[in-house]
Every structure is written in C-alpha cells, then in structure tokens.
Amino acid sequence: MPNSPIISIVVADDHLFFREGLINVLKSKKRFEVVGIAGNGKELIELVSKHKPTLAIVDIGMPVMNGIEATKMIMAMEYKTEVIALSMHTEEAIIFKMLEAGAKGYLEKNISKEELFIAIESVIDYNQFYFPESSTTSMFRLMKKLSFSPYPKPSVLFSERELEIVSLVCQDFSSKEIASSLSLSNRTIETHRVNIMQKMNVKSVAGMVAYACTKGLVQL
C-alpha cells in the first residue's frame, strides 16, 4: 500500500534461535518495527500493555502462559492489537482454540519471508484472516463454528460469473478444471481470476479464499 503506516510488532516465542531469526526477518522490511520481544505469555501481556502494538506474533506453545490464554487477554485489553499465531503444530483443534481466542490466523514455523510479509499485511492492511495456502479451506470451515461471525458484507460488487469462479477456487478446483466445468477457455478463466484478485486486492489463491470467506461470498 502506498504511504503505508508503520506496523509495530511484539514477537513472543520461547525458542531463542527461532525468535532471533524471525526478528531479523521483520527488521528487513522498513515498515515493520519490532517494539518488544517476549519468551512467554506473561511477558507478552506486559509488553502489549506497555507498547500497545499493531500486531503480536504469538507462539501457541509457550511456558508460564500459553499463546491461547495470552491471546484471550490481549483481546480483552481493547488496544486493537491483532494476533497472528505461530506453531510447529497443525492440529485443527489447537488452531481452532487460537481462532476462538481472537487470532486473525496462523503461520507454520517453516514459512518463507514472503509469506510472513503477506500474512502481516493481509491482517493489518486488509483486515483479512490469513492461513497457509495448504490449509486455508479447512481453516475457514472451522471458523464457521466459532462463536463470533467473521463475515461482514463485501463492499465490492462481483458478477455472477466471478462468484461462480470464486466458489470453485474455494473448492480447490484448478483453472483447467474450472474452465471445463463452466465450458470456458483457460485464458478466459485466468482473465477472470486476475480481475477478481484485483477487485479483492489480494495476491494469491489463499488471499482470494480468505477474502471470499471473510466477506461471506462462499459457503464452505
């Protein structure tokens, strides 16, 4: 985004080596400012209270207070600090608890620098939930079970054809499969996908699925 504001970040992870690597990656992007570093949930809460950061990147399995309990407390503070969960685990039950606590998505610890940046900007700039592309569909099925509703009405209009394509993308159909299903050419489908992603202001299939689900365009 042009003239993008600084995103202040607190990082919480009890593994020193991973934490330092993550901080170095975050510092490589000018608009990210790391304002606090925590090794457990209690330290995280203290840092969020002190700095009121834009974002907290939170390891789920921390000592003293785990990421789930810490996220609940952050949400109760009303500082508008968003949370992205980090985990070595991909069990849906654990991720489900983080979403219930108020996290706006999660990342696995083997993420690339590019995915980390996309995740942060999706959550902060576009108010989107973010998950690894491989798990996006299953994660949004889980979100439908949550006690809160993440489905505000979209502000952008989509054609009936575009909505058909979005629905099929969210069902893991490839462009070739969508073209066959709708009796259209691959080029036509790709043109529609580009236009849809421009309307959504997203850069990936995961972003498209995230937008579609958070705006209630599809029912998974």
In a domain, 143, yes or no: no
The predicted pLDDT at position 55 comes to 97
> Would the pLDDT of 90 be above 70?
no
Domain shared by 204 and 106, yes or no: no
In a domain, 138, yes or no: no
Cα separation values, 30 from 26, 111, 113, 123, 207, Å: 8, 20, 14, 18, 23
Using a pLDDT cut of 90, give the percent of the chain over it: 50
> Would the pLDDT of 20 be above 90?
yes
Domain shared by 16 and 121, yes or no: yes
Domain shared by 51 and 92, yes or no: yes
* Mean pLDDT of the 68-91 span: 88
Domain shared by 52 and 128, yes or no: yes
Domain shared by 88 and 31, yes or no: yes
Report the domain count for the chain: 2
> Would the pLDDT of 40 be above 50?
yes
Domain shared by 187 and 115, yes or no: no
> Would the pLDDT of 86 be above 70?
yes
What is the span of the domain harbouring residue 125? 7-132
Domain shared by 95 and 52, yes or no: yes
The predicted pLDDT at position 126 comes to 82
Domain shared by 88 and 21, yes or no: yes
Pick the residue with more confidence: 75 or 209? 75
- Name the H helices within the chain: 16-27, 41-51, 67-77, 92-101, 113-126, 136-143, 160-170, 175-182, 186-200, 205-214
Domain shared by 84 and 125, yes or no: yes
Neighbours of 153 (CB within 10 A): 7
> Would the pLDDT of 157 be above 50?
yes
The predicted pLDDT at position 1 comes to 55
Domain shared by 85 and 175, yes or no: no
What CATH number does the domain containing 203 carry? Answer: 1.10.10.10
- How big, in percent rounded to 5, are the helix, strand and coil portions of the chain? 50, 15, 35
In a domain, 142, yes or no: no
* Mean pLDDT of the 187-194 span: 92
The predicted pLDDT at position 143 comes to 60
In a domain, 150, yes or no: no
In a domain, 82, yes or no: yes
The predicted pLDDT at position 151 comes to 47
> Among residues 114, 132, 150, which one ends one of the domains?
132
> Among residues 132, 147, 179, which one ends one of the domains?
132
Pick the residue with more confidence: 26 or 79? 26
In a domain, 128, yes or no: yes
Domain shared by 101 and 168, yes or no: no
The predicted pLDDT at position 152 comes to 53
The predicted pLDDT at position 212 comes to 82
End-to-end CA distance of the chain: 30
Domain shared by 11 and 49, yes or no: yes
Pick the residue with more confidence: 53 or 150? 53
The predicted pLDDT at position 105 comes to 82
* Mean pLDDT of the 155-178 span: 88
Pick the residue with more confidence: 79 or 146? 79
In a domain, 151, yes or no: no
How confident is the prediction for the chain on average, in pLDDT? 85
Tokens 């889980």 belong to 142
The predicted pLDDT at position 155 comes to 65
Tokens 């902060």 belong to 124
> Among residues 88, 116, 132, which one ends one of the domains?
132
> Would the pLDDT of 53 be above 90?
yes
What CATH number does the domain containing 91 carry? Answer: 3.40.50.2300
* d(C-alpha 121, C-alpha 115), whole Å: 10
* d(C-alpha 158, C-alpha 50), whole Å: 43
